[in-house]
Homo-oligomer: A and B are copies of this chain.
Amino acid sequence: MKQYIEQNRDRFFEELFSILRIPSISAKPENRPDMERCAARLAELLLEAGADTAQVMPTAGNPVVFGQKMIDPTLKTVLVYGHYDVQPPEPLEKWNSDPFEPVIHDGAIWCRGANDDKGQLFMHIKAFEFLVRSGQLRHNVKFIFEGEEETGSASLPAFIKAHHELLKADVCLVSDTTMISDKVPSINCGMRGLSYLEIKVTGPNKDLHSGHYGGAVANPINVLCEMIASLMDADNRVTVPGFYDNVVELSQADRDMLARAPFDMEEYKNFLDIDEVKGEKGYTTLERTGIRPSLDVCGIWGGYTGQGAKTVLPSVAHAKISARLVPNQRSTDITRLISDHLKKIAPPYVKVEVTPFESGDGFLIPITSDAYRAASRAMAQVYGIEPVPSRGGGSIPILAEFQKELGLDPLLMGFGLERDTIHSPNESYLLRQLFAGMESIVLFYQYY
């Protein structure tokens, strides 16, 4: 594969860039045509790579790309999952270059989606192409690329339900996560689920003069801040009743195993430029993101946010609140618990509306499977060191659906690194990870 990469490098970039340039932002309705374009281009790339069929299939939301090459029903079938939608690029002013015009410098591709997930799904298309063209393909391969991962995969559960036969496979192979570092490869063996809500607090029915009314009428921003502040206690535990009910406490042995993952607190703090970390009492940083749920305000806005000093007692304040969940916490339950709690603690002098958004459950992956072992062996060969089983803090909610509906365990061979700052400005993907990923995937097929 190394040689194949060398020979086809320029074409690879050209192809990858053709999808990176499409602003397939699923959160923005106005980008809907870009979703269609991006899906169509991916179907093209699958056919060019050697798929027998590849098509853009409609859903209630953004289309799904499905392609496959079935060579022998008695052989194992690998279903590759990825997503072609990306996060909004905002704040735009923090990007060093156009978020949808990929550039290569400092050994990386810089673009929204360079890693998450266009760059990572592209590795699978090229690994597949190599296996086909070199006559080494020994598996049936299916590809499913969705366009709503970043907004909660709303349409995919119905699609999975409607296409059991089409999606039937032995493993669901996914590259949409990070490794601990490029010196310490890891394979994700669990991910967190997600609940997401928007809260709107309305005080008076219009913006008021803060002099005429300040002190006498509840300010919805102050009230929203009080409500948010009350969601965490002094031990940094979430105060929503029932929030921890289904959280499994890990045994000391399990925690010890997790603690084997290398972690350098000084490096971590330096990378983020913070003086101290903050999190739930009694847990380490890796545990806080790996095995414990969390609650974050992803956005807040209200009142006058322009330049200068406008005095106003605003009518409305908003916040977007997300919770990351661990296996056994059902996201629909948690979303309801948070929503009910917010309404319950709403004081009588404001009106509170809560809108639930995407949600998805967390899951665990057995590390004893053939697929896990093949992936581990492949990555060990490429990186020269055995990958560590790790728990990712992020969420790919739909993978729990694959597990439940199709009995299909996901295998998370992710080649991203924290330095890639996915979801943030200046997302990038290291070329050496892109290529090491392709090599690892080819070897995975060899050992699986």
Contact = CB atoms under 8 A, between A and B. Distances in A.
Contacts of A294: 210, 214-216
Contact of A28 (B224, B308, B357): B308
Contact of A349 (B209, B274, B285, B301): B274
A232 B222 contact: yes
A349 B216 contact: no
A274 B205 CA distance: 8
A341 interface: no
Interface string A17-59: 0000000001111000000000000000000000000000000
Given A194-B211, A300-B317, 19 more contacts: A26-B308, A88-B304, A178-B212, A198-B309, A203-B272, A207-B424, A209-B393, A210-B294, A211-B395, A214-B324, A215-B289, A216-B277, A221-B300, A222-B297, A300-B301, A301-B301, A301-B302, A309-B320, A309-B322
Given A299-B314, A424-B206, A425-B206, A308 B357 contact: yes
A298 B310 contact: yes
Q: What class of interface size applies to chain A in its complex with B?
A: 35 or more
A98 interface: no
A423 interface: yes
B307 A204 contact: no
A300 B300 contact: yes
Contact of A307 (B27, B208, B278): B27
A345 interface: no
Interface of A: 26-29, 87-88, 90-91, 94, 150-152, 178, 191-192, 194, 196, 198, 203-219, 221-222, 224-226, 228-230, 232, 272-280, 285-286, 288-289, 292-314, 317-320, 322, 324, 347-350, 357-358, 392-395, 418, 421-425
Contacts of A218: 274, 276-278
B425 A207 contact: yes
Contact of A194 (B219, B298, B311): B311
Contacts of A196: 309, 311
Contacts of A293: 215
A309 B206 contact: no
A215 B286 CA distance: 10
A210 B308 CA distance: 31
A299 B308 contact: no
A398 B207 CA distance: 24
25 contacts: A90-B306, A94-B207, A151-B308, A191-B211, A194-B211, A204-B273, A208-B424, A211-B324, A214-B324, A216-B286, A218-B278, A221-B300, A224-B300, A225-B225, A225-B297, A275-B349, A297-B302, A298-B309, A298-B312, A298-B313, A300-B317, A305-B320, A308-B357, A309-B320, A312-B423
Nearest to A280: B215
Contacts of A277: 216-218, 349
A226 B226 CA distance: 7
Contact of A211 (B205, B312, B394): B394
